[in-house]
Amino acid sequence: MKKLIMILAAVICLLDVTMVAQQRTLSGIVSDENGKPLMGVSIVSKISNHSTVSDEKGVFGIEVVGDYDVLRFIYIGKKAEDIRVGNRMHLNVTLLDEVLSQEPQVIHFEMEQDQLFVKASRQNRSQLQMQKRAGVQGQANYFVSSPPLGDFNTESYAPIDENGYKQTLKNPLSTFSLDVDRASYANVRRFLNNGQMPPKGSVRIEEMINYFNYEYNEPTGDHPFSLNAELATCPWEKEHYLMKIGLKGQELEMDDMPASNLVFLIDVSGSMNSANKLPLLKSSLRLLVNKLRPEDYVAIVVYAGASGVVLEPTSGQEKKKIIDALESLKAGGSTAGGAGLEKAYQLAKKHYDKKANNRIILATDGDFNVGKSSNAAMEDMVEQQRNSGIYMTVLGFGMGNYKDDRMEIIANKGNGNYAYIDNLQEAQKTLITEFGGTLFTIAKDVKFQVEFNPSKVLAYRLIGYENRLLNSEDFNDDQKDAGELGAGHTVTALYEIIPVGATNADKWITSVDDLKYQKQASVVSSDDWLTIKLRYKQPDSSESILIQKALKGKVKEYIKASNDFRFAASVAAFGMLMNNSEYVGTCSFESVRSMAEQARGDDKQGFKAEMIRLVTTAELLSQQYARD
């Protein structure tokens, strides 16, 4: 037995030496068709979990493993490229514009490359399993192309219990909190780009829908947003209807925005020591710093084994001082996230200005492991600060140990929003293009309540928003917390409706016995399909304002609905497919791709084209998973 163990140890040592020998740094430049360097291109190894982004000159450097490694180059609006590294030490790459044909086509990897990818993946899996059996650690960063071995992936997501149908006679009211978070879409994109289907709990359909901006009417009255509604037939259940609710927040010019008091709360623990974490974090915040005005102030608090203030509040006029403080940060140690939050709130309160935008920007992978680290403890801490006038923005980074559930809770309870940053383009979108929506709150505690008319609507279900549901009585309770709306933000919600007279109703609605002590409520005759009610508070107020709007009229044919309606429906269907929803009906990846392409409309930045590509990727991966 001892001899066998010695032989196994020798083999493992030989494998370690071989793997180390195969590792090398590959450098290069990424450009567009005109030779212009592309900043923010995501480069991911399909064999290891190494990743990086190109800098402002298009330059990148990444660790690769052997000749079989394949690098994927991803940039929104450009066609993704998969390139086998071979024995090269330098690689220049040109990314072409992503042009979508009228007839969407499925893109297949070259057979030779695919076979090499599988061969190398199996090789690494075999080595990892041998090391695991022998108790050897240290090579866990290899093999990302398929779901990682359980011991090496500690990402966590809150469970989602998909909304079912509610009978209108028994449950006429549907109440939920606004949700402006968009983290789920970017995180799903990360998984798909890395060759994995997203895990259960990571696909939150409302966040996928709300990732995209829609052409809603601008607000014109006394309220800081407009309320829009549209009703059309459902593309995946021919007898059902879809109802879309849309909000559009008031746009604010930079000069009209109040001064900002920002505290950057930055995780510099050892878990942040990879290219897609602290380096990407610093590049992202540098973009934001370069946008600040002299009247804006930034402080920096960091946490690892302990927390501390790296930079006292500093004017946006001193950009070099702020950026130098950012660039000085190094990763190492454990993660005292609770202590970091306490320190950040202390500093924000000390320099609080009631006329300013007071906000903490937490940047982390969420892997808190020292002090107050449980979800409940973090929730209690942030909830206690809810009425302090200090808002919260949570920026998530990285993979492997990512704690999505924890960061969503912090954002929800901290009067804030939550985004996932998987590349520099996403940072540009979140912190610069959508600067007002991310950092300036124009309405808080925004709640919806929809009352359905039982004479026209037999049953309904809210698509998504499972973790934002409220009790009916919460709508009028001004003490009940809800979501915040930022300047220029658009927010969309979809309901699937079973109209009275639908022949397939029995498939979705389970009958219950008649009540013994109550008679069925009488129904008022009305042409309304439903009434939308909304409550919100001004950012500095504790009393809510009520607005309401009835929806009536003829139901549109799906094909005649607006581009916004049809694209939002395609995103919802995409999410349902990835969640293996029982309500997906006749939808397939192919039909979703067609729906999205036909409703793409104005897409100057290429985000909608990117989603169409991701649908194709998910289709290929689902076929591969089915074979496996």
What CA–CA distances, in Å, run from 69 to 65, 140, 146, 227, 346?
A: 6, 16, 14, 50, 48
Q: Of 533 and 14, which is predicted with more confidence?
A: 533
pLDDT of 65 higher than 50: yes
Q: Of 471 and 308, which is predicted with more confidence?
A: 471
611-623 confidence digits (pLDDT tens): 999 999 999 998 8
Q: Is 503 helix (H, G, I), strand (E, B) or coil?
A: coil
Residues 6+ apart with CB under 8 A from 238: 586
Using pLDDT thresholds of 50, 70 and 90, give the confidence band for residue 574.
very high
pLDDT of 391 higher than 60: yes
395-448 confidence digits (pLDDT tens): 999 888 898 988 898 898 888 899 999 888 899 899 998 999 899 999 999 999
Residues 6+ apart with CB under 8 A from 367: 154, 267, 269, 271, 335, 401, 402, 403
What CA–CA distances, in Å, run from 161 to 18, 521, 524?
A: 46, 30, 33
Which CATH superfamily does the domain covering 2-119 fall into?
A: Carboxypeptidase-like, regulatory domain (2.60.40.1120)
Domains of the chain by residue range: 2-119, 166-252+442-502+522-627, 259-414
CA distance 89 to 28: 8
pLDDT of 75 higher than 80: yes
**Rounded average pLDDT over 124-131:** 42
pLDDT confidence of residue 335 = 64
Q: In what order do the strands lie in the sheet with 490-499?
A: 166-167, 457-463, 490-499, 241-249, 225-233
CA distance 544 to 542: 7
483-488-489 Cα angle (round to 5): 40
pLDDT confidence of residue 10 = 55
- CA-nearest of 396, 475, 389 to 157 is 396
Residue type, 142: Y
pLDDT confidence of residue 4 = 56
pLDDT confidence of residue 627 = 66
SS (H, E, C) 123-134: HHHHHHHHHHHH
pLDDT of 91 higher than 90: yes
Give, for 116, the enclosing helix (H) or strand (E). Answer: helix 111-134
pLDDT confidence of residue 194 = 85
Share of the chain above pLDDT 70, in %: 84
Q: Beta-carbon neighbour count of residue 64 at 10 Å? A: 23
Question: Hey, what CATH class is 259-414 in?
Answer: alpha beta
DSSP state of 291: T
pLDDT confidence of residue 117 = 37
- Beta strand 391-396 with 416-420 is parallel
Using pLDDT thresholds of 50, 70 and 90, give the confidence band for residue 49.
low
Q: Domain 166-252+442-502+522-627: give its CATH code.
A: 2.60.40.1230
pLDDT confidence of residue 8 = 54
What CA–CA distances, in Å, run from 327 to 27, 286, 305?
A: 22, 9, 20
pTM assigned to the model: 0.81
Q: Beta-carbon neighbour count of residue 150 at 10 Å? A: 8
Using pLDDT thresholds of 50, 70 and 90, give the confidence band for residue 152.
low
pLDDT confidence of residue 139 = 28
pLDDT of 267 higher than 60: yes
159-202 confidence digits (pLDDT tens): 999 999 999 999 999 999 999 999 999 999 999 988 899 998 99
Using pLDDT thresholds of 50, 70 and 90, give the confidence band for residue 233.
very high
Lowest mean pLDDT among 227-231, 333-337, 352-356, 537-541: 333-337
pLDDT confidence of residue 448 = 97
471-527 confidence digits (pLDDT tens): 999 999 999 999 999 999 999 999 999 999 999 888 998 877 888 888 767 788 889
Lowest mean pLDDT among 105-119, 207-221, 239-253, 585-599: 105-119
Q: Evaluate whether 291 touches 320 at the Cβ level (below 8 Å).
A: no
pLDDT confidence of residue 15 = 46
**């020591």: which residue's tokens?**
273
Relative orientation angle of helices 404-413 and 183-193, to the nearest 10 degrees: 160
- CA-nearest of 261, 291, 441, 436 to 356 is 261
- CA-nearest of 601, 590, 597 to 236 is 590
- CA-nearest of 536, 452, 548, 431 to 500 is 452
| H runs (alpha helix) in 385-446 | 404-413, 424-428, 435-439
Q: Evaluate whether 381 touches 342 at the Cβ level (below 8 Å).
A: yes
Lowest mean pLDDT among 122-131, 222-231, 342-351, 543-552: 122-131
pLDDT of 530 higher than 80: yes
Using pLDDT thresholds of 50, 70 and 90, give the confidence band for residue 54.
confident
Average pLDDT of the chain to the nearest whole number:
84
Burial code (b: 16+ CB inside 10 Å, e: under 16) for 542-556 equals eebeeeeeebeeebb
- CA-nearest of 246, 248, 247, 245 to 460 is 245
Q: Of 46 and 309, which is predicted with more confidence?
A: 309
Q: Evaluate whether 65 touches 19 at the Cβ level (below 8 Å).
A: yes
**């509610």: which residue's tokens?**
166
Using pLDDT thresholds of 50, 70 and 90, give the confidence band for residue 109.
very low
Structure tokens at 385: 């600060």
Lowest mean pLDDT among 24-33, 146-155, 515-524, 585-594: 146-155
Domains 166-252+442-502+522-627 and 259-414 alike in fold: no
pLDDT of 25 higher than 70: yes
**Rounded average pLDDT over 124-129:** 42
Give, for 244, the enclosing helix (H) or strand (E). Answer: strand 241-249
388 phi and psi angles, rounded to 5 deg: -80, -10
Q: Is 316 helix (H, G, I), strand (E, B) or coil?
A: coil
Residues 6+ apart with CB under 8 A from 242: 231, 232, 233, 234, 235, 494, 495, 496, 497, 558, 565, 569
pLDDT of 348 higher than 50: yes
pLDDT confidence of residue 100 = 53
pLDDT of 147 higher than 80: no
Using pLDDT thresholds of 50, 70 and 90, give the confidence band for residue 46.
confident
No. of helices (H) and no. of strands (E), the chain: 15, 23
Share of the chain above pLDDT 90, in %: 55
**């979800």: which residue's tokens?**
375
Q: Of 153 and 354, which is predicted with more confidence?
A: 354
